[in-house]
């Protein structure tokens, strides 16, 4: 993961890591009570949905 300002780049190796990140992002957004912008970038079929 690289951190530049508020930007974080995460490179995930498999589906399990992607699911874990999704759960953690959801929990963080709900707990914060604020909005969050998440930009997912990757090739077709990379699991962004």
pLDDT tens-place string over residues 14-48: 889 988 988 998 898 888 887 777 777 778 887 77
**pLDDT value of position 2:** 46
Q: Which of 44, 38, 2, 45 is nearest to 21 (CA)?
A: 38
The Cα–Cα gap between 48 and 42 comes to 7
The Cα–Cα gap between 13 and 4 comes to 21
Q: Is the pLDDT of residue 5 over 70?
A: no
Q: What tokens appear for 1 in the block?
A: 């993961």
Q: Is the pLDDT of residue 49 over 80?
A: no
Q: Is the pLDDT of residue 3 over 70?
A: no
């Amino acid at each position: 993961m690289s951190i530049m300002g508020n930007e974080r780049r995460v490179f995930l190796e498999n589906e399990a890591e992607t699911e874990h990140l999704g759960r953690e992002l959801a929990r963080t957004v709900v707990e914060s009570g604020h909005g969050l912008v998440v930009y997912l970038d990757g090739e077709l079929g990379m699991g962004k949905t």
